[in-house]
Structure 1
Amino acid sequence: MRVKRLAAAVLVALLAGPVCAGDIAAFSPIGFSPDGSLFAFEEYGVQDGSGFPYSNIYAINTVDDTFLPGTPIRTRIENEAAGVGEARATSLAQAQAWIAKHRLADHPGQIVAFDPVSEVGADPHHIRYRAFPAEPAVGEPFTLQIEELEEAPPAACKDVVKVVKGFRLLLTERDGAAVKETVYEDGHVPGSRNCPTGYRLGGVMTFQPDNGDTLHIALVMVLSHGFEGRDGRWIALPVRP
């Protein structure tokens, strides 16, 4: 009887766990333009608190780190009974014209490193990888590192958090050689990050244009105060090491 009670308690804890968790968006790459000047990806999930499914599509100019005009595309279906598939289909339908125009589906790139929040033991601020997926390995490793920064919260966040976090992205290894170069640094934390409380290096993508150097894309997860826990959303930063 005691064993049965213990098993039941464990089952209840497992079933209850996700209900008390924040909303960590899934990441899905869409692709690159042939010359690597454009990269697009989708994040999607179900909002904690409301239970509404959403899908956001971002298209980034990798030369000047700006958004393609008309993006991001943000879809949220304000109906708990709706599925994530409906939200994703709505966003992708809106993006289809420029996905086809820039031939993004023909150039998917490669995910060369990926570190989800569920992975145990990984350093959330450090990621080491090779630029090409091959066996035996080709080339020497690259390393990216995040340093978190703090600033006073804006009015919209002051009752939620004591400080908001920004970040600096560093390249600390290039093709096996130690370096220390700042790839990106926040001048000011954008309000669109929703009172960020931390960051993690979630992965790296690479793409080799026909005429040009290999492009690296750092996938940074923004962690922010959510309704039931910390929420996670994605930022893609172009890196040309």
Structure 2
Amino acid sequence: MIDKIAPSVAEALAGTPDGATVMVGGFGTAGIPGELIDGLIAQGARDLTIVNNNAGNGDHGLAALLKAGRVRKVICSFPRQADSQVFDALYRSGQVELELVPQGNLAERIRAAGAGIGGFFTPTGYGTELAKGKETREIDGRMYVLESPIHAELALIKAERGDRWGNLTYRKAARNFGPVMAMAARRTVASVHEIVPLGELDPETVVTPGIFVHRIVQVPRTATQAGGFQKAA
């Protein structure tokens, strides 16, 4: 019987190795799998490469992981904002590396990994520092840069509902990078607020099929998340 439900975050994340590349879903604070990040801090893996749209907010979530000294490198498109003081301080002091990737390129590099694409040409970044050292090519009179896929050992994503096979639905903007990250990682762990019986999820609403998910763990909904909540389809 297929049952991907983990009894705890700790069990879902057990065995995460030092030096792993970890994709973390989220767009700003929308869709950040906070409980899974906290579990990764407790699990103890170090020297991590983190792939996310941002580089942490305030002193929680990714910022807490950075502050704990567990991150060697961040690959993201938007590292600096008003409350990114943890990353900012670490980067300026040389304690963390940054690979800056335009947001569309980031999404496509992750998608390419999941789709088995060896690379793709894009005009974004051509003629800038971001294209330094990369192959360029003229196509139909326009210059393009070759970008490579981003693979990961682990993806941490936040979904809304799931079943024991690992099928997932999302809530609105919390969907963001989760589906493509689930496809690009060797192992995907998803947090969900509801675990439902098989057959209760309408197949038309399943965004991430269970074949891309290895473990799901149920986490409680906080008061903030509950405010104004509308049940997902």
On whether the aligned pair clears a TM of 0.5, the verdict is: no
Greater relative contact order, per chain length (Cα 8 Å cut-off, separation 6+):
2
> Which is richer in helix?
2
- Highest Rg: 1 or 2? 1
**TM-score, with normalisation over the residues of structure 2?**
0.24
Write 1 or 2 for the structure with the bigger share of strand: 1
